[in-house]
Structure 1
Amino acid sequence: MKHSLVDDMWLLENQLPLFILKDLFALAKREVHSNLYEGISMSKLTCELWEAAGHNLLIGYDLLEEHFPKAEHFVDLIRLCLQPSEIGMQNGELKTLVAPTITELHQAGVKFKLGSSNHLFDIRFKNGTLEIPKLTVVDETQALIANLQDFEALNCEPTYVNDYVVIMNYLVNSPKDVEV
């Protein structure tokens, strides 16, 4: 049931402002057995639900906790967590690359390495090695990414999710690219 609930939580059309959910949670804490809620926060519940659902975007508890106070709603929370770290930024802007396909890079001698970063967008190229953080694609991944892109298109600048999708679209164009 948790998995199904979490999938619905991330749909753009189901978003409620987090300040409303926080207020309702605070009201519930006061009204119903407040001792049961001791040490529990809305952000902690969100993090535990995310982890219990087993999503594969490698967003750690610490990132969810860090960005929860700034998030407008759950989709915004995930978008904030997926933003690149300051390491991938230069003067407040992302370094832009025009990328050939994975197969073309491989043929040119580029090596590939599984990224160690917890930030999905920390794609790095250094000393002939392209480092890309792991993204495990499951049935729900496409819907989640599409919702993040829709939210970003309407509300956000810069558009990290869309940029990530564009880069991956350049890199992976064929079954051969996936194989490499």
Structure 2
Amino acid sequence: MTTRGATASNNNDDAFIQLASSIKQKLCSESPLSSRCCIFQVPKTLRRHNNNVYETHTISIGPFHHGKKALKSSEKIKLWYLHDLLSRAPIPNTFLEDMIKHIKESEVRAGALPKAACTHQQAVPWVRLAIQNDLLLFENQLHWFVLECLFNLTTDHERRTPSLADLALNFFHDMILITVPPKPNSKFETKHLLDLVRTSLVSPNAEMEQECPQVVLIPSVTELLQSGVKFKVGNHKDILSVKFSNGVLEIPPIKLQENAESIFRNLIAFEQCDHECTHSITSLAILLDNLINSSKDVDFLSNKGIIEKALSNEDICLFFNRLYNDAAVVSFSYHRLSRELIE
């Protein structure tokens, strides 16, 4: 090897050593995400199918959308709510200071905290609906312990009042898919409002029945009817409890309001991002997508009392047929049932 060649080789070695050293200095021994992290941004692969259902339009309570110009007017509304909240305290200024001290560790601004989830102040109907929808967006969440802290600070403990979870689910009842009043699920630790809604829909049994990552496609309602399958309304209290036995497919009733696509997509996004979540709602979306291929399918399910709808048949078909695109399914709840339907 010539001297020039040896020099070039040494220079390359030095460059490799420097690059390796630089990378080593940047290595993280721990995950940059907290193991308790439960508030994420929606992946771009999911957003591209309908970005609008993940966007906050009226009020922001989480970190991702705070400060947006389009939401500037709602800041005054939140301050008005805060003023109303403070007016209940004997010494408003001292109470505000005490409140800030309690939530300082979470770095949440007192003026950006929601009141709608735990009170029932009358509001213009469209405003209430918009706030309900925004408070259940995946990117627009606050940690539950922060909300609970504020609730405990502003609750008269001498009076017997419903829990924060009960009040929140009552507030969201009209828009969260189930046809009966939902109940908090004590089997799960609540992470935020969207998680509260999800766990109220997911029974402990459903969480245990996760079966297989392989999605099995089934025929539509019309095709199943032609093959002799009968349909029956299932358990109103357990939206995920779909059963097939003796030629009868039993499906719990599901309520599809104007926000149905939004609530489904945000719940699916949550299941995609939180490693502690099973894919129960995603599995239901897949099953319904398979069953609903036409307006005729929706019409039949509606007449059977399985779908309670405020949307047109065409709109329901449209959003179900692209609802779970690009979602990775780690555990498909209805694998066995689907196999039985096609055998």
With structure 2 as the length reference, what TM-score do the two structures score? 0.45
Shift of 1:40: 3.9
- The Cα offsets for residues 103-125 of structure 1, whole Å up to 9 and x where unpaired, read as 11100111011112411111111
Q: RMSD of the TM alignment (CA)? A: 2.6
- Retained in 1: the 8 A contact 2:240–2:284? yes
- The Cα offsets for residues 12-64 of structure 1, whole Å up to 9 and x where unpaired, read as 121111101011112223xxxx368643431232133124xx22522655x53
Q: Distance in 1 between matches of 2:253 and 2:209?
A: 25
- Retained in 2: the 8 A contact 1:81–1:119? no
- Retained in 1: the 8 A contact 2:271–2:279? yes
1:152 aligns with 2:271: yes
Partner of 2:177: 57
The residue type paired with residue 299 of structure 2 is E
Aligned partner of residue 136 in structure 1, secondary structure: strand
Matches within 5 A, 1:98-109: 98-109=217-228
- Retained in 2: the 8 A contact 1:67–1:81? no
Q: Distance in 1 between matches of 2:187 and 2:136?
A: 14
1:24 aligns with 2:150: yes
Q: Distance in 1 between matches of 2:225 and 2:168?
A: 40
Number of equivalent positions: 171
The residue type paired with residue 78 of structure 1 is V
- The Cα offsets for residues 58-79 of structure 1, whole Å up to 9 and x where unpaired, read as 2655x53334961101111122
The residue type paired with residue 47 of structure 1 is L
Question: Using a 3 Å threshold, how does the CA distance of structure 1 residues 79 and 44 change in structure 2: closer, same or farther?
Answer: closer
Moved more, 118-127 or 155-164: 155-164
Partner of 2:283: 163
The residue type paired with residue 27 of structure 1 is L
Q: Distance in 2 between matches of 1:142 and 1:60?
A: 19
Aligned partner of residue 130 in structure 1, secondary structure: strand
With structure 1 as the length reference, what TM-score do the two structures score? 0.80
Judging by fraction of residues, say which structure has more helix.
1
Partner of 1:81: 200
Q: Distance in 2 between matches of 1:138 and 1:78?
A: 15
- The Cα offsets for residues 125-175 of structure 1, whole Å up to 9 and x where unpaired, read as 111110111112111111011110111100044211111111111111122
Q: Distance in 1 between matches of 2:186 and 2:154?
A: 23
Question: Using a 3 Å threshold, how does the CA distance of structure 1 residues 46 and 162 change in structure 2: closer, same or farther?
Answer: same
- Retained in 2: the 8 A contact 1:60–1:118? yes
Partner of 2:292: 172
Q: Mark the runs of 5 or more structure 2 residues left unpaired by the alignment.
A: 1-122, 301-343
Moved more, 156-165 or 93-102: 93-102
Q: Mark the runs of 5 or more structure 1 residues left unpaired by the alignment.
A: none
Out of 187, 199, 210, the position equivalent to 1:93 is 210
Aligned partner of residue 12 in structure 1, secondary structure: coil
- Retained in 2: the 8 A contact 1:85–1:122? no
- Could you tell me the percent identity over the aligned residues? 27
Q: Distance in 1 between matches of 2:229 and 2:243?
A: 12
Aligned partner of residue 113 in structure 1, secondary structure: strand
Aligned partner of residue 231 in structure 2, secondary structure: strand
1:43 aligns with 2:165: yes
Query: Larger RCO: Structure 1 or Structure 2 (Cα < 8 Å, ≥ 6 residues apart)?
Result: 1
